[in-house]
């Protein structure tokens, strides 16, 4: 946004940022998309806009939807979005899963960010690409949730693949965590969900019309009966639901269960604990992201010199890291 485009407004960065924040808070789609691009880029040194966004966030119900590739997460997210829209709520969707229908699967290896696919005024979809080496995805995703929250979306769904440390961290940074399992995906694929199953508040077995859906549901029930979920500290009973997104079966029940969970969080006071934990994750991820970008921005020469020394095995990577940390201009 330059002074030329809006001659009536001063072009100082602060004013431009303030203007954009105001537009985000009004729910302006273009401003939201722009702010998200800034979040992905890391905001440079100016965090004033994001701080302002944060001040206005905190009203949305953030739902993490996770599961292995092919489990039918995106189809489920679509169906849920329709259900929430039908009850008059505005719905934001963030797809962090490269195999998501929303991101279209950047199948040729290109780092494609699909544009924002706004189906109606009350829905906003954003795909986060796993672009660029060495991180920032989790921090950017969590900032993006905040932007939708501040923009007045009542529900923000974050779809992530249930594999990979960053991706699971993102899924966990939600108020309600839905883990999607598909029947008959095979042991090898299901095994990868180790560590993901236990973060579920709600389990959904998708593709319920398949013959082995009930068996998958029973397996999940048995697992819960064995007490392998640590979620019931506040008395929430983890549920296992069946759904067929394409037929629309089970979607209303799932939406109701998600709402019930949010109500439970509010009633028991668990919500504030979860908010605090999510905030901690965000802060830690932001620290990491900041440190990482400082290394490349401020310490390139020093990194080169340290690499020279480490190459000849004069120092190890640990000592190089220590020296780098000492000299970070923070």
> Which residues in the 144-163 window bind its own copies by CB under 8 A?
161, 163
Residue 321 lies near its own copies (rule: CB under 8 A): yes
CA distances from 221 to 72, 144, 168, 178, 205 (A): 20, 34, 22, 15, 11
> Would you count residue 248 as binding its own copies (CB under 8 A)?
no
The encoded tokens of residue 3 equal 């002074």
- Please say whether the beta carbons of 69 and 99 come within 8 A: yes
Piece in contact with its own copies (CB under 8 A), picked from 203-211, 238-246, 253-261, 290-298 = 290-298
Q: Which long-range contacts (CB under 8 A, 24 or more apart) does 187-195 make?
A: 189/68, 189/69, 189/70, 190/68, 192/68, 192/162, 192/163, 193/67, 193/68, 193/162, 195/168
Cα–Cα dist 24/5, whole Å? 18
Should residue 291 be labelled a site residue for its own copies when binding is judged by CB under 8 A?
A: yes
Which of 4, 88, 121, 188 touches its own copies (CB under 8 A)? 188
Regarding 190 and contact with its own copies (CB under 8 A), the answer is: yes
Contact flag: residue 326 with its own copies (CB under 8 A): yes
Q: Does 318 bind its own copies (CB under 8 A)?
A: yes
Pick the binder of its own copies from 9, 69, 259, 271 (CB under 8 A).
Answer: 69
Asked if 44 contacts 37 with a C-beta cutoff of 8 angstroms, the reply is no
Does residue 272 touch its own copies according to CB under 8 A? yes
Q: Under the criterion CB under 8 A, does residue 330 sit at the interface with its own copies? A: yes
269 binds its own copies (CB under 8 A): no
Of 3 and 328, which has the nearer Cβ to its own copies? Answer: 328
How far CA 180 is from CA of 19, 24, 141, 159, 197, in Å, comes to 40, 32, 20, 10, 9
| Residue of the chain from 186, 235, 248, 269 that contacts its own copies (CB under 8 A) | 186
Strands 155-161 and 91-95: parallel
From candidates 33, 192, 252, 271, binder to its own copies by CB under 8 A = 192
Question: Measured from the CB atom, is 88 or 109 closer to its own copies?
Answer: 109
Q: Find tokens 């796993």 and name the residue.
A: 130
Whether 151 contacts 59, CB under 8 Å: no
- Mask: binding to its own copies, 97-126, rule CB under 8 A, as x and -? xxx-----xxxxxxx---------------
């Amino acid at each position: 946004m330059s002074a030329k485009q809006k001659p009536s407004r001063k072009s100082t960065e602060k004013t431009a940022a303030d203007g954009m924040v105001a537009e985000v808070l009004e729910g302006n789609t273009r401003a939201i998309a722009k702010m998200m691009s800034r979040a992905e880029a890391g905001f440079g040194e100016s965090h004033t806009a994001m701080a302002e966004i944060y001040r206005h966030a905190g009203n949305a119900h953030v739902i993490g939807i996770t599961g292995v590739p092919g489990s039918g997460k995106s189809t489920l997210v679509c169906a849920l979005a329709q259900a929430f829209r039908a009850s008059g709520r505005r719905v934001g969707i963030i797809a962090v899963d490269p195999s998501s229908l929303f991101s279209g699967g950047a199948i040729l290896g290109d780092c494609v960010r699909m544009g924002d696919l706004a189906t109606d005024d009350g829905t906003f979809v954003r795909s986060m690409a796993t672009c660029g080496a060495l991180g920032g995805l989790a921090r950017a995703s969590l900032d993006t949730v905040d932007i939708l929250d501040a923009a007045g979306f009542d529900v923000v769904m974050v779809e992530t693949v249930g594999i990979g440390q960053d991706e699971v961290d993102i899924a966990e940074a939600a108020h309600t965590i839905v883990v999607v399992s598909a029947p008959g995906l095979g042991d090898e694929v299901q095994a990868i969900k180790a560590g993901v199953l236990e973060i579920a508040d709600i389990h959904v077995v998708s593709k319920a019309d398949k013959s082995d859906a009930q068996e998958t549901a029973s397996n999940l029930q048995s697992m819960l009966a064995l007490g392998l979920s640590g979620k019931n500290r506040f008395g929430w009973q983890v549920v296992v639901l069946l759904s067929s997104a394409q037929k629309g079966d089970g979607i209303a029940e799932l939406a109701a269960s998600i709402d019930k969970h949010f109500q439970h969080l509010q009633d028991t006071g668990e919500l504030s604990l979860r908010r605090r934990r999510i905030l901690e994750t965000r802060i830690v991820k932001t620290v990491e992201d900041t440190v990482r970008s400082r290394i490349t921005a401020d310490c390139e020469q020093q990194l080169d010199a340290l690499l020279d020394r480490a190459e000849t095995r004069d120092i190890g990577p640990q000592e190089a890291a220590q020296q780098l940390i000492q000299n970070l201009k923070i």
